[in-house]
Amino acid sequence: MYLLLYDNSNSLSISVVNKIVIMHVFPITGTIISVLFLGFDFLYIRPRLKNKQSRVGVRLFSIVSICILVMVVHYILEKVADIV
């Protein structure tokens, strides 16, 4: 991700902001997604789908749904409410 956001301009402040975003915001977002998924997996999916064959599909659907939910909440907080 650093290579995608790297800017060759001479502005030092833009480079520093990009590094801060990459090193602080992305791990926080990943931690939120993983905590939500693990909680949902342990508390809801595993007890209900112990002996079913569709466990992998349900887990895949749940992780994609949680990622979309976090993306929508982040977009609303950043663009609409101007909080982030």
Domain positions in the chain are 2-80
d(CA 41, CA 59): 7
pLDDT band at 84 (very low <50, low <70, confident <90, very high): low
pLDDT of residue 6: 55
pLDDT band at 1 (very low <50, low <70, confident <90, very high): very low
pLDDT of residue 12: 59
Q: Secondary structure of the chain in the HEC alphabet?
A: CHHHHCCCCCCHHHHHHHHHHHHHHHHHHHHHHHHHHHHHHHHHHHHHCCCCCCHHHHHHHHHHHHHHHHHHHHHHHHHHCCCC
pLDDT of residue 41: 87
